[in-house]
């Protein structure tokens, strides 16, 4: 329950930043400043999360650089610049209650995080705070409309996107999209206690090594998110025409900023909706992508079993490939050695940069599940390790969509042809040539299926299949028939 009246004012509050790393339009910070006479701010490098990560992780570097900017922003907003971010390295379940007691905070403010492990962590924090007589208030911030805000007329969660989208658009009134200002009450930001005044820990102090973000030209922090959004607004009207072509600058590239909350989803939706209402087809399509994001999070909230199992239970009966051969096929997929250039170029992109174009995410997921017969959960876990913008709900939703096991997923008999996808969405081979330079000298028609190229073209390009570039690990037509047989166990259930 969230206090809103002046009678519930606290003398001292603590804002716990998590996946909301900005000092503008930030729900927990806004409400804390509204309800508290003084407000401290903290972030925890949670060892329960960090200990499971590789020592070179682009996300940790992105997070760390964004925190440096957040700390500076809070300082600039606070009286005499004495505020800032208190950064702790340890278990969040321990660190948050401990700091709240140390500061004499009567309440902790944070934003919702609906991932299962986060809910368990928050329950532990809430219990410990309650034992000390301290309140714990959480707010909507990561989503535009969340949890049970968009329900069917019978009060149940939607499982089909289009009616959900229509209901979302009816529900997304100006109040839902309104900015939650911080600056008018920023004078309530408390000075950081002397014993807590220290810089954001370096990567080395956290036990990590640089991941080369600067070389990837991935802008961090709120300034990075705002710069990307400003650039995208010059292209948003063309989004519908450009979004499916990986060699074209079509996407917003804001997914990692949405993941870490370095830009407000309300700002994005408010702007896109306004442009759409003014007649921009591109803005309307992009707004639909933001709504898909909310859709997958409400699925996770109402159907948490999707973390481990298929949304549609019948699909758990599918028998996937197993054993050494399956492991070899999976390794070839991970390494970009399938012999299908668009698939391999896409895997090179994610491995080198931590990013993958959305069209290619669908292509490689379909290939893993429906050409190689590998359990979608293997691919989901690999993406979870590699993607800078990894969000459990969106990643799970995307993989279950590709495997046909999710809500409103593609039909089980729809199987992307990696060659025709390549010809359609990378017609000039620019994307393939960028990430597979060993194929660059091939004529464009041969680039999409090198095994079908004329021997003279292969020779002129210096390519021997199996040496400079692998032969296909499977035949697509044969794999398609095998997949249809594999999915026969659910045919009647989805008919």
The pLDDT of residue 410: 85
Domain shared by 94 and 159, yes or no: no
User: Measured at the alpha carbon of residue 422, what is the angle toward residues 419 and 423, in degrees to the nearest 5?
Assistant: 90
Contacts of 182 (CB under 8 A, 6+ apart): 23, 24, 25, 26, 29, 30, 33, 77
| Domain presence at residue 446 | yes
Domain boundary among 269, 302, 335: 302
The pLDDT of residue 1: 37
The pLDDT of residue 133: 97
Quick: pLDDT tens for 4-20: 434 458 999 999 999 99
How would you write the chain as a 3-class SS string?
A: CCCCCHHHCEEEEEEEECCCCCCCCCHHHHHHHHHEEEEEEEEEEEHHHHCCCCCECHHHHHHHHHHHHHHHHHHHHCHHHCCCEEEEEECHHHHHHHHHHHHCCCEEEEECCCCHHHHHHHHHHHHHHHHCCCEEEEECCCCCCCCCCCECCCCCECCCHHHHHHHHHHHCCHHHHCCCCCHHHHHHECCCCHHHCCCCCCHHHHCCECCCHHHHCCCCHHHHHHHHHHHHHCCHHHHHHHCCCCCCCCCCCCHHHHHHCCCCHHHHHHHHHHHHHCCCHHHHHHHHHHHHHHHHHHHHHHCHHHHCCCCCHHHHHCCCCCHHHHHHHHHHHHHCCCCCHHHHHHHHHHHHHCCCCHHHHHHHHHHHHHHCCCCHHHHHHHHHHHCCCCCHHHHHHHHHHHHCCCCCCCCCCCCCCHHHHHHHHCCCCHHHHHHCHHHCCCCHHHHCCHHHCCHHHHHHCCCCECCCECCCCCCHHHHHHHHHHHCHHHHHHHC
| Domain presence at residue 56 | yes
CATH number for the domain harbouring residue 356: 1.10.579.10
Domain shared by 134 and 153, yes or no: no
Domain shared by 382 and 250, yes or no: no
Phi and psi at residue 274, to the nearest 5°: -60, -40
| Domain presence at residue 477 | yes
Domain shared by 172 and 38, yes or no: no
Residue with tokens 């590699």: 386
| Domain presence at residue 29 | yes
CATH number for the domain harbouring residue 251: 1.25.40.80
CATH number for the domain harbouring residue 25: 3.40.50.620
Domain boundary among 95, 117, 142: 142
Written as tens digits, the pLDDT of the chain (495 aa) is: 344 434 458 999 999 999 999 999 999 999 999 999 999 999 999 999 999 999 999 999 999 999 999 999 999 999 999 999 999 999 999 999 999 999 999 999 999 999 999 999 999 999 999 999 999 999 999 999 999 999 999 999 999 999 999 999 999 999 999 999 999 999 999 999 999 999 999 999 999 999 999 899 999 999 999 999 999 999 999 999 999 999 999 999 999 999 999 999 999 999 999 999 999 999 999 999 999 999 999 999 999 999 999 999 999 999 999 999 999 999 999 999 999 999 999 999 999 999 999 999 999 999 999 999 999 999 999 999 999 999 999 999 999 999 999 998 889 999 999 999 999 999 999 999 999 999 999 999 999 999 999 999 999 999 999 999 999 999 999 999 999 999 999 976 555
The pLDDT of residue 329: 98
| Domain presence at residue 465 | yes
Domain shared by 298 and 279, yes or no: yes
Domain boundary among 302, 321, 355: 302
The pLDDT of residue 24: 98
Domain shared by 352 and 486, yes or no: yes
Could you list the residue range(s) of the whole structural domain that residue 66 is in?
A: 6-142
Domain shared by 149 and 297, yes or no: yes
Contact 85, 63 (CB under 8 A): no
The pLDDT of residue 7: 46
Domain shared by 166 and 32, yes or no: no
Domain shared by 130 and 153, yes or no: no
Domain shared by 279 and 379, yes or no: no
| Domain presence at residue 442 | yes
| Domain presence at residue 196 | no
| Domain presence at residue 366 | yes
pTM here? 0.96
Active site residues: 289, 292, 320, 358, 376, 399
């Amino acid at each position: 329950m969230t206090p809103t009246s002046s009678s519930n004012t606290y003398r001292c509050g603590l804002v716990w930043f998590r996946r909301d790393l900005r000092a503008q339009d930030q729900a927990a910070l806004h409400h804390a400043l509204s309800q508290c006479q003084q407000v401290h701010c903290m972030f925890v490098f949670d060892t329960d999360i960090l200990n499971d990560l590789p020592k070179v992780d682009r996300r940790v570097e992105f997070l760390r650089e964004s925190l440096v900017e957040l700390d500076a922003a809070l300082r600039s907003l606070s009286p005499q610049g004495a505020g800032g971010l208190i950064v702790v390295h340890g278990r969040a379940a321990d660190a948050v209650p401990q700091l709240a007691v140390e500061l004499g905070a009567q309440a902790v403010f944070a934003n919702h995080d609906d991932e299962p492990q986060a809910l368990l962590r928050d329950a532990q924090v809430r219990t410990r705070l309650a034992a000390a007589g301290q309140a714990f208030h959480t707010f909507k911030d990561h989503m535009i409309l969340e949890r049970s805000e968009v329900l069917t007329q019978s009060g149940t969660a939607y499982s089909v996107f289009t009616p959900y989208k229509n209901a979302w658009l009816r529900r997304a009134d100006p109040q839902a999209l309104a900015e939650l200002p911080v600056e008018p009450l920023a004078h309530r930001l408390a000075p950081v206690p002397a014993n807590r005044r220290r810089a954001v820990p370096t990567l080395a102090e956290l036990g990590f090594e640089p991941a080369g973000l600067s070389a990837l030209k991935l802008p961090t922090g709120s300034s990075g998110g705002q710069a990307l959004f400003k650039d995208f607004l010059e292209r948003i009207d063309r989004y519908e025409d450009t979004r499916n072509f990986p060699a074209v600058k079509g996407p917003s590239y804001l997914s990692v900023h949405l993941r870490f909350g370095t830009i407000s989803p309300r700002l994005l939706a408010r702007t896109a909706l306004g442009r759409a209402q003014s007649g921009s087809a591109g803005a309307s399509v992009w707004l639909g992508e933001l709504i898909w994001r909310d859709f997958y999070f409400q699925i996770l909230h109402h159907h948490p079993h999707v973390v481990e199992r298929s949304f549609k239970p019948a699909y758990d009966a599918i028998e996937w490939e197993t054993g050494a051969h399956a492991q070899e096929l999976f390794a070839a997929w991970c390494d970009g050695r399938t012999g299908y250039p668009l698939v391999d170029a896409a895997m090179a992109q994610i491995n080198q940069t931590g990013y993958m174009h959305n069209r290619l995410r669908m292509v490689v997921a379909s290939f893993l599940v429906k050409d190689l017969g590998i359990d979608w959960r293997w691919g989901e876990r690999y993406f979870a390790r590699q993607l800078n913008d990894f969000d459990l709900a969106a990643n799970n939703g995307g993989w279950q969509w590709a495997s046909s096991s999710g809500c409103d997923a593609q039909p089980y008999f729809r199987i992307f042809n990696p060659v025709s996808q390549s010809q359609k969405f990378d017609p000039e081979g620019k994307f393939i040539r960028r990430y597979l330079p060993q194929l660059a000298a091939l004529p464009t028609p041969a680039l999409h299926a090198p095994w079908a190229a004329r021997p003279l073209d292969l020779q002129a390009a210096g390519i021997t299949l199996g040496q400079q570039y692998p032969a296909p690990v499977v035949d697509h037509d044969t794999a398609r028939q095998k997949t249809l047989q594999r999915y026969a166990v659910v045919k009647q259930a989805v008919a």
